[in-house]
Amino acid sequence: MLTYLTLNVHKWKRRPFLFLLLVLLPLVVFLVLYPFLKSSVRDVAIPVALVDEDESQWSEIVQQRVAQDNRVRIIDMDRDKAKVAVQKGDVEAAFVLKKGFMEALRSGNISNSVKWLRTEQSELDVFVKEQIGAELMRLTLNAKAANTLQNWGADVDWEEAFQHADEYWQPNPLFQMEYIAEIPTQGKAPEVGLAPWMNVVIALFFLYAWLWFISLLNGMVQDEKAGRTARVLFLRSSLSGYYLMHFITFVVVVSTAYFLALNGLFYVTNTNEELMTAWNAWSAGVLIGTMLLTFIVFLLGKRSSKTLLVLTAFTFISFTVNILPMEILSVMDTLFPHNWITDLNPWEAGGM
Amino acid sequence: MIQLDKVSKTYKSKTVLHPVSMHIEEGKSIGIIGPNGAGKSTFLKLVASLEKPTDGTLSFNGVPYRKNVKNLRKNMGYIPQDIALYEELTVKEQISFWKRVSLEKPDPSFLKQMIQTLRLDEVYKQRVDRLSGGWRRKVNLLVGFMNNPSICLLDEPTAGIDLAAKEDILTWLQSLHDQGKTLLYISHDWYELNQLSDEYLLFAKGRPIVRATREELLREKDSIMEQYPEEKELQNILKFFK
C-alpha cells in the first residue's frame, strides 16, 4: 500500500524546492502580507480627530483611554485641520478638548468642556462620543468625590482622594448590568470568534488547498492518458489500491500545507488555544470531507480533464460566494464547502 | 486461445471497428498493419481487455472475458504506444516501483535476462526522462512484460527509435516468440514485421480485411491494392512489402 506513497516521494524529491514551496506557499504569502493586512485592518477602525487644546494630564488620559479601543483610530490634529478633515469626510468626527478642560472637570463643571464637530454624514462617531462621555464622567465623579471630602474638611490630600475614587472604576466599574452568557444552540462556543478578515484569509487557504488537491488529481488523468493506469490494471488486476493510496497521499500533503498556514495565522494573531483547537478540528473535517467528495466526483466523472475543469470552477464559485456579502438561500449555502468552513462552523458565531 | 465472436466497437454512433470474428492461436506471432484510423489500436485494446466491445464477445481459453478478466490479465502483457512510465524515476526506481505494484512477484532470473538482453544495466541509474527514445522504449517493454506473460500485445513497440535499440527489442521479442509466447503487435515497419510475424493481419476501414502468411500476402497483395484503390495509405504500405 505504501508503493504509491513512495512513488510520489520519488517524484517530489526530484524537485524538492518546488515541493517545499508548494507546501509552504500559503504560510509564506500570509506572513509576507501580514503587516499590510494588519494596517488594512487598523484602517477599518473609526477615524476620529482629537484636538487637545488643554494639553493637560487629564486631556492626555482621555486620549489614551479612548485610543485603547481597537475600533477607534485617534488622529491628533489642531482645530482648523480637524474642521477641514470632518468636512472632507477624512474623519468621522472631531472632538475638541477645550482649553481649561482639566480645570473645568476638577471643579465638576462638565458642560462645554468638549466640543463635538460632525457632519450629517457622520454616523459611527456616536460610539466615540459615548466613550469620551464615559471618561469625562469618570474623571468628574472622581474630582467631585475629592472636592466633597475637602469641603467636609477631611484631612486628606485632593490627589489621594481622586486616585482612591478612581480605584472603584477598576478592575470593575461601580455599576454593572447583570448579564447571562447564552450558549449557542449548535455547540459550546469559545468567548469570541475570529475576526472577519481572518475568515477571509482562511477561505483563501482553503481555496489553495482545494485547488492543489485538484491539480494533484490531474496526475491521475495523465496516468490514464499515458497508459500507466492500464499498466497497473495488468499488474494488479484492480485499481482500488491505486486510487486509495493516491487519495491518502494527496490528502496528507495538502492538509500539511493548509494546517501549517492556518496555525501560522493563529500564531501571529495570538488566537486563543481553545479557538485554535476548535478551528483545527473543524477544518480537518471539512477539508478531508471536501477532498473526499471532490475525489468521488472525479471518479464518477470518468477521471477526465473536463471534470477537473468543472471542479476548479466550482472551487472559485465556492470562494466567491463565501466572501461576497450575497444574500443566498440557506439551502444553497450548504452546497459550497467554503461556507461549511466558516458559516456552518459551530465555533463561529454567525460566521463571516 | 483467444476467440473473438462478432466483436465491434462504436464511439458515439461512430463505428471504429466493424464486427470481427477471429481465433488467435497460442504461440502465434501476428503483425497488425494498416493505415491510421483503420481500427488496429481499438482491436488491440479490445483483445487486451482495456476496452469493452459494443457488441460481440471475447473469450480466453473458452471462458468469456467478463468472467475471466483477472486470469486473463495475469497471462497478458500490454505495451501501449505511449511510454507508460513515471519518467521522473531512474530505471532502477522504475523497475523497483512496478515490481511492488505487481501482485505476482516477477521471476528475478527472467528480469535479469531481460535487463541483459535489452542492455538496460548501462542506464540503470539514469532518470528515464533523460534517456533517448530507444532506451525509454526498452524500459517500457521491460516493465510491461516483467511478469513473463504468455500473451504479449504491443502497439508499435519500435516506433521512432534508433536501429541499435530496435535490434535489441527485436532480439528480445524473437526470443519470446521462440519460447512459444503469443505475440500480437501493431507495426508500420516491414523489416520488423518480416523478422517476427508468422501471420499478417491487414486492417482497412475499421475491419480486418486479410489475415495471411507472408507467402499468401505476397500472392494477394496486388488484388488487395486493386480492391481498395482509394486507400492511399494502404497502397503505400503494401507497395513496400516484398
**pLDDT, tens digit, 9 for 90 and up, residues B143-156:** 999 989 999 999 99
Q: Does the pLDDT value for residue B25 go beyond 90? A: yes
Whether pLDDT at A342 is above 60: yes
Min Cα separation B11/chain A (Å): 15
Residue A3: its chain B contacts at CB < 8 A?
97, 100-101
Give the rounded percent of residues in chain A with a pLDDT score beyond 70: 86
Q: Is the pLDDT of residue A346 over 80?
A: no
**CB-based contact, B144 to chain A, within 8 Å:** yes
Domain with residue B115: its CATH number is 3.40.50.300
- Mean pLDDT, residues B22-42 taken together: 92
Which residue from A minimizes the CA distance to B96? Answer: A3
Most A CBs within 10 Å, among B71, B86, B103, B147, to test the A interface: B86
Could you tell me the residue range of the domain that residue B140 belongs to?
2-239
CA–CA distances in Å: residue B35 to residues A167, B2, B189, B211: 98, 24, 12, 15
- How sure is the predictor about A195, in pLDDT bands with cuts at 50, 70 and 90? confident
How many structural domains comprise chain B?
Answer: 1
Identify which of A7, A10, A227 has the shortest CB distance to residue B84.
A227
User: Span B15-24, mean pLDDT?
Assistant: 93
Q: Is A56 helix (H, G, I), strand (E, B) or coil?
A: coil
- Chain segment A55-72, per-residue pLDDT in tens: 888 888 888 888 877 777
Kindly report, residue by residue over A141-194, the tens digit of the pLDDT. Answer: 888 888 888 888 777 788 888 888 888 776 555 555 555 555 555 544 444 567
Between CA A103 and CA B98 the distance in angstroms is: 89
Per-residue pLDDT tens digits for B177-232: 999 999 999 998 888 888 899 999 999 889 899 899 988 988 888 888 888 888 88
Q: What domains lie within chain A, and their CATH numbers?
A: 3-39+189-341 (no CATH), 46-167 (3.40.190.10)
Average pLDDT, chain B: 90
What value, to the nearest 5°, has the Cα angle with vertex B44 and ends B96 and B158? 60
Predicted local distance difference test score (pLDDT) of residue A349: 44
* Substitution target from B42, B100, B146 for chain A, most A beta carbons within 10 A: B100
DSSP annotation of B128 reads G
- Checking if the pLDDT of B68 tops 80, the result is yes
The confidence score (pLDDT) of residue B155 equals 92
* Confidence (pLDDT) at A171: 52
- Alpha carbon distances (Å) from A259 to A292, A311, B197: 17, 22, 59
Distance set, CA A49 to CA A55, A69, A128, B3, B136 (Å) = 15, 15, 11, 91, 74
- Return the pLDDT at A153: 79
| SS3 (DSSP) at A349 | coil
Hey, which residues does A94 pair with through a beta bridge?
A49, A117
Give B217's contacts (C-beta < 8 A, 6+ positions apart). Answer: B200, B202, B210, B241
d(CA A187, CA A307): 37
Handedness of CA A323, A329, A332, A334 (dihedral sign): positive
pLDDT band at A2 (very low <50, low <70, confident <90, very high): confident
For chain A, the C-alpha Rg in angstroms (whole number) is: 30
**CB pairs < 8 Å spanning A and B:** 65
